[in-house]
Structure 1
Amino acid sequence: MSVIHIRGRHGLNGEIRIQGSKNGVLPIMAGALLHRGTTVITNVPIIQDVLCMMGILEYLGCHCTLEDHTAVIDATYAEVAPVPCAMSGQMRSSVMLLGPMLGRFRLAVSRHPGGCCLGNRPVNLHLDAFRALGAQIRTEGEQICVFANRLHPATIRFPYPSVGATENAILAAAAVSGATRILGAAREPEIEMLCAFLGSMGAKITGGGTSCILIEGGVSLHDSTFEVNGDRIVAGTYLGALLRSGGRLLLRGAAASQMEESLRLLSSMGMEIAVRPEGILAKMSGRPCACDFSTGPYPEFPTDLQPVMMAGCASADGESRIRENVFEKRFSCAEELRKLGASIIIEDRFARVKGRHPLHGARVQAKDLRGGAALVAAGLAAEGETFVEGYEHISRGYEDISRDLAQAGAEIALE
């Protein structure tokens, strides 16, 4: 397997173009199933999860192409079929196909989704939303079957603002005649993006990005073209790398309006940040300041950026405290960061990180997507050489993290 080789202690200077949003494009690709025609999606990131989703859509009978970051999905002849375990087990977002398959075919069959091992990630909220719309659920082992002779509009109340469950409810309700309300909806920018995409197909949806979403379902959909926003987590990752390495970066295409809490925390740690029409300009010199922060649903600090911020805290001036409120196993990269010399104590959902400078190079293992990116960021500021194994996890969400950072002056290569 490929390994990322880093020679540390080189500042970052230059410009990085931010790829399209992973968490935005996957539900949009699933949503293309709702229309018996062609959907064009631009600014698509060339990542493993996108390729996996394309494979599943083609298995279901869609015709898909991906060229120059533009995906064309023709779902005219799509058919309902059980998604094979080998496909659904590769990524969490495979569960997003249940909603559009139920909406279009009144039948959806899949297996419990895969992805990173971050702890308990049940799909009960997804299934409760389908039940509210009139569907029945049958589970056998790892297989999930959702079906209905007739679906009806409903008021869906979520006790927790689950992003995936909100997206699945929107996708299913868009094909149900009548008005469906979602209360307690997730407010992430990716939800707003999905609603805008469905609107470009002719759907009538209001409230995307708020806790109350109204879907006037059952309207006729048409061919459409939609551009995916820049990935706020990738942008945050590169800012986290700058936090440790120092220098000056322009992140072209980064959506600052979607990153307010992340930018606030980075500023408190000593980073100078300016929002420009073309993206985010950031400067960093010296060691970062220690900080205390907690993760939570948007607009709180995103759990996906917690590992890279932990890496930043590992070399900060002072002791930082982190509370992880979303995934109980999101601290899994702490063990690998310790191999680089980090001082991290984990107690349940809390982490205490005593900053040390400099860290030292070592051979480490990426165990999940965001933890792997954090190890790359840590290696950039460590003395000597760092080798990050487990690149297959990182490639699920980053087009080419080595290419991007090398363009900004890092000594890094994929070998």
Structure 2
Amino acid sequence: MDSIEIKGGVPLHGEVRISGAKNAALPILASSLLVEGTCTFENVPRLKDIDSILLLLEDLGCSVTRQGEGEVAVDAQGLNRTEAAYDLVRKMRASILVLGPLVARLGRARVSLPGGCAIGARPVDLHLKGLEAMGARIRLHHGYVEAEAHRLKGADICFDMPTVGGTENLMMAASLADGETILRNAAREPEIVALADVLNAMGASVQGAGTSKIIIQGVSSLKPVSTTIIPDRIEAGTFLVAGALTGGDVTVRDCNPDHFRAVIDKLRATGASVETGPDWTRVRGPEVIQSVDITTQPYPGFPTDMQAQFMVLLSMAEGTSVISETIFENRFIHVSELQRMGAAISLHAGNTAKIRGVKELSGAPVMASDLRASASLILAGLVATNTTVVHRVYHLDRGYEAIEEKFSRLGARIRRIR
């Protein structure tokens, strides 16, 4: 099992190109199941989660081809299976995204309940309630979701809370449903807009993506499409925090600053200098990092996927900061590892962390528990004295493309130990 070794204390300088967004690529690749023909996707990152969903698509009968750097073609003409098996689904929660497309196109689906990061309950009941409202018969049997419908019917669906995966699944299902579907209290993330753009390019009628009310007019069939995956806003935010944390000067290229305004605002609040352009963002670290309070919220609020990275930044701040995690109830697993490196963090009421800034962190062997926690431990290693070794980095490889190579190009002393 790979580890990553970091020798800290080097300010980062230079430019880094941001990869395609994993959280946009996964639903967009799943949407190819709706089409009888070949869809081509560019700027697809090379990640474990991408490999997992491509294997799943192949197992369902699709032909998958990697045609070049970041280009993937999926031909779903031969789609002939309706079961997404446990061995393929257990590695990644996003596998549930094949449920809606399979029911919409083939009339049935049997999908294993998914696995993924250990960051708390992320139930799929909102997906299932929505499909039931659209006329699907749902049964949970031996760890599988079984759904069946001759043809899905349009419905007026109000989510109990914004759900990114649920919004994506039902958008795809509704695209081939009979009649109009309205999704209320829908998720508003850029990845939702990206999926809607792809569905519309396929011939669907999706309006309102990026707002809390999405209206889909079902059509009888969809056509193949060629599209480019949007840049990863969380990867961009991670490199910006690294630049500020190390007192460096880092420019991220091929990004969309409008997608992470909440992150930029909080970086500025810590004293960092942040400049933006149409497809780039530059950060320069402050002489003294200022404490700030953060509450994670659904988009366009501060993203839960940046909470762990900011916790490291605030561990080096002057004063005391408070982070309130409102999205996942078990997303402070990285705290104990940061404490081993000298961070002064205390947990309160299960979902609040109080961070008292310290003068330095000390390198140590640490264990990654999930994707974003892995990134936070890399960041801590970049600023710590001595050497840090992050173990179990397979989590990292699920969501960051060649992260050690990118940090190396910025001057970090970092290497992978295989």
**TM-score where L is the length of structure 2:** 0.98
Instruction: Give, as a single letter, the amino acid of the residue that structure 1 aligns with 2:374.
Output: G
Instruction: Give, as a single letter, the amino acid of the residue that structure 2 aligns with 1:340.
Output: M
Aligned residues, how many?
A: 415
Instruction: Give, as a single letter, the amino acid of the residue that structure 1 aligns with 2:64.
Output: C
The answer to whether the Cα contact below 8 Å between 2:247 and 2:285 also exists between their aligned partners in 1 is yes
Task: Summarize the alignment of residues 80-119 of structure 1 with structure 2, pairs less than 5 Å apart.
Answer: 80-119=81-120
SS class of match (2:139): strand
Task: Summarize the alignment of residues 32-43 of structure 1 with structure 2, pairs less than 5 Å apart.
Answer: 32-43=32-43
Q: Indicate the residue corresponding to 1:61 in structure 2.
A: 61
- What is the distance in 2 between the residues matched to 1:370 and 1:86? 24
TM superposition shift of 1:222: 1.4
Instruction: Give, as a single letter, the amino acid of the residue that structure 2 aligns with 1:34.
Output: L
Q: Indicate the residue corresponding to 1:167 in structure 2.
A: 168
TM superposition shift of 1:268: 0.3
TM superposition shift of 1:286: 2.2
The answer to whether the Cα contact below 8 Å between 2:103 and 2:148 also exists between their aligned partners in 1 is yes
**Deviations along 1:283-308, whole A, 9 cap, x unmatched?**
11323111101001001100011000
- What is the distance in 2 between the residues matched to 1:277 and 1:121? 34
Q: Indicate the residue corresponding to 1:406 in structure 2.
A: 408
Q: Indicate the residue corresponding to 1:353 in structure 2.
A: 355
Instruction: Give, as a single letter, the amino acid of the residue that structure 1 aligns with 2:275.
Output: A
TM superposition shift of 1:278: 3.3
Matched, 1:270 2:271: yes
- What is the distance in 2 between the residues matched to 1:341 and 1:215? 51
The answer to whether the Cα contact below 8 Å between 1:80 and 1:107 also exists between their aligned partners in 2 is no
Q: Decide whether aligned partners of structure 1 residues 219 and 275 sit closer, same or farther in structure 2, where only a CA change above 3 A counts.
A: farther
- What is the distance in 2 between the residues matched to 1:75 and 1:201? 14
Of 362, 365, 381 in structure 1, the residue corresponding to residue 364 of structure 2 is 362
- What is the distance in 2 between the residues matched to 1:141 and 1:123? 16
The answer to whether the Cα contact below 8 Å between 1:273 and 1:281 also exists between their aligned partners in 2 is yes
- What is the distance in 1 between the residues matched to 2:236 and 2:322? 23
Instruction: Give, as a single letter, the amino acid of the residue that structure 1 aligns with 2:281.
Output: I
SS class of match (1:300): coil
**Deviations along 1:384-408, whole A, 9 cap, x unmatched?**
0000011100000001110111111
Q: Indicate the residue corresponding to 1:7 in structure 2.
A: 7
Task: Summarize the alignment of residues 196-275 of structure 1 with structure 2, pairs less than 5 Å apart.
Answer: 196-275=197-276
**Deviations along 1:208-248, whole A, 9 cap, x unmatched?**
11111111112432121111111000011111111211111
TM superposition shift of 1:262: 0.8
- What is the distance in 2 between the residues matched to 1:400 and 1:317? 32
- What is the distance in 1 between the residues matched to 2:117 and 2:274? 31
- What is the distance in 1 between the residues matched to 2:247 and 2:308? 18
TM superposition shift of 1:6: 0.3
In structure 1, stretches of 5+ residues that fail to align are: none
CA RMSD of aligned residues (A): 0.9
Which stretch of the first structure deviates more once superposed, 75-84 or 392-401? Answer: 75-84
- What is the distance in 1 between the residues matched to 2:117 and 2:271? 31
Deviating above 3 A after TM superposition, structure 1's stretches of 4 or more consecutive aligned residues are none
The answer to whether the Cα contact below 8 Å between 1:18 and 1:230 also exists between their aligned partners in 2 is yes
Which stretch of the first structure deviates more once superposed, 122-131 or 272-281? Answer: 272-281
The answer to whether the Cα contact below 8 Å between 2:297 and 2:304 also exists between their aligned partners in 1 is yes
**Deviations along 1:371-396, whole A, 9 cap, x unmatched?**
00000011100000000011100000
SS class of match (2:398): coil
SS class of match (1:345): strand
**Percent of paired sites with the same residue:** 38
Task: Summarize the alignment of residues 100-139 of structure 1 with structure 2, pairs less than 5 Å apart.
Answer: 100-139=101-140
- What is the distance in 1 between the residues matched to 2:164 and 2:38? 26
**TM-score where L is the length of structure 1:** 0.99
Instruction: Give, as a single letter, the amino acid of the residue that structure 2 aligns with 1:399.
Output: E
- What is the distance in 2 between the residues matched to 1:216 and 1:304? 32
SS class of match (2:41): strand
The answer to whether the Cα contact below 8 Å between 1:182 and 1:214 also exists between their aligned partners in 2 is yes
**Deviations along 1:91-133, whole A, 9 cap, x unmatched?**
0100111010111111111111111011111111000000010
Which stretch of the first structure deviates more once superposed, 277-286 or 340-349? Answer: 277-286
- What is the distance in 2 between the residues matched to 1:154 and 1:387? 51
The answer to whether the Cα contact below 8 Å between 1:34 and 1:103 also exists between their aligned partners in 2 is yes
Instruction: Give, as a single letter, the amino acid of the residue that structure 1 aligns with 2:344.
Output: S
**Deviations along 1:228-277, whole A, 9 cap, x unmatched?**
11100001111111121111111001110011111100110011111113
- What is the distance in 1 between the residues matched to 2:416 and 2:366? 14
TM superposition shift of 1:339: 1.1
- What is the distance in 2 between the residues matched to 1:366 and 1:287? 28
Instruction: Give, as a single letter, the amino acid of the residue that structure 2 aligns with 1:309.
Output: F
Q: Indicate the residue corresponding to 2:47 in structure 1.
A: 47
Matched, 1:303 2:286: no
